[in-house]
Structure 1
Amino acid sequence: MSSQGSRASNKITDDELNSLILKLQTLLPQLNQGRNGRASATKVLNETCCYIRKLQKEVDDLSERLSQRLGSVDITSFDAEILKGLLQQ
């Protein structure tokens, strides 16, 4: 199969794209606070990026706090290294 044929079969229709944007909008707290209106696709995608960055920062902060707590727990250094490695993934 040619790469053009492959791309054509993966093409998303406007209706499918609109449906995906609406689903994404419902997952974003800042766009889903009692409003029944629809935000533009650009706004939904921008808010999605901001929300993902915020969640990543929260994960990083929680991982750091957990690493600090693990440092104060009396476990073997081998166990601590395994846990720290898992947290950094």
Structure 2
Amino acid sequence: MSAKVTTRQITFNHRFALANMPEAHAPGTFDLVVEQIPLDVSWEAYRASCQLMLVDGGTTSAISVTMAELEAALLADSQHDVNSGLS
């Protein structure tokens, strides 16, 4: 089995921060690269490795992130307007 790589776009509408980021990042649409690495077992199984590609001032950096952390950040972003009283 070989590794499977997929890319999808993730959008944050507000400033956000993840564990591996030195500071909050401006909102925008970013690429999430997910590499599924095969495990050495007798059935088909993979371990996911995720990288969020952040572009800032013409420089692109890859931030390692777990899906759970990313989903929590996206949920917090989507609830930002609700919590601030905006529509």
TM-score by length of 2: 0.33
Q: Which has the higher helix share?
A: 1
Q: Which has the higher strand share?
A: 2
- More relative contact order in 1 or in 2 (CA 8 Å, sep 6+)? 2
